[in-house]
Amino acid sequence: MAHDLIADRGYFGFSYADIAETVGIRKASIHHHFPSKVDLVVATLKEYRAKLAEAAGGLDQSIADPLQRIKLYVQYWAECVKSNSRPICIAALLSAELPALPEQIQAEVQLHFKYLVSWIRTTLKEGARNGSVHLEQSAEVEAQSFVALVHGAMISARALGSPEIFSSITKGALERFQPER
């Protein structure tokens, strides 16, 4: 529930009262588990990163082709954006609010991006080694650029109310990784 409220409203746009009303429990019950809003958001971000790591690990185990893994990552977000089920990464959304957020939340947002960039970088390096991925720059620069592009595409799609924007932006990024034939 906290994830959805963060995605819809950002850190400053929701309260315990919103959660209590949506879930049908008392605010005191939420405070019992999460004494402060910071605790709740930090726990939400930790869970979010753990799910990302689990999904990335699943792709690493089940999909041999590194480029296909990256395509599936983008496809996941394309489906979320299109269905409006989870139309934006909450770490990306919170990063826009970063200067105003408590330090504990800032740290969790940074850990999310560090993990994601690391996974993309590792995947790109593997693809470059086996010839399934073409890199124009270092794997680090390509990974940072790709993560920024995907998250920027989410923001653009949301701002313009057009899921097609996400797909058209990310399509070009994926095509850049295709080895020359």
Closest CA to 170 of 53, 69, 65, 75: 75
- Within its chain, how far is the Cα of 126 from the centroid? 22
Contact 173, 147 (CB under 8 A): no
Predicted local confidence at residue 28, as pLDDT? 86
Q: How far is CA 67 from CA 62, 82, 152, 160, in A?
A: 13, 22, 20, 29
Q: How far apart are CA 155 and CA 141, in angstroms?
A: 21
Contact 154, 88 (CB under 8 A): yes
**Residues of the chain predicted below pLDDT 70:** 181
Predicted local confidence at residue 178, as pLDDT? 95
Contacts of 75 (CB under 8 A, 6+ apart): none
Q: How far apart are CA 149 and CA 146, in angstroms?
A: 5
- Within its chain, how far is the Cα of 169 from the centroid? 16
Predicted local confidence at residue 181, as pLDDT? 56
Contact 5, 19 (CB under 8 A): yes
Predicted local confidence at residue 19, as pLDDT? 87
The two three-digit tokens of residue 28, written as one number: 């005191």
Going from the N-terminus, what domains does the chain have, and what CATH number goes with each?
A: 46-177 (1.10.357.10)
Which segments within the chain are labelled E, that is strand?
none
Long-range contacts of 141-150 (CB under 8 A, 24+ apart): 142/177, 143/117, 143/118, 144/117, 146/70, 146/120, 146/173, 147/113, 147/116, 147/117, 147/120, 149/173, 150/73, 150/74, 150/77
Contact 16, 27 (CB under 8 A): yes
pLDDT tens-digit series, residues 119-142 = 999 999 999 999 999 999 999 999
Predicted local confidence at residue 159, as pLDDT? 93
Contact 110, 118 (CB under 8 A): no
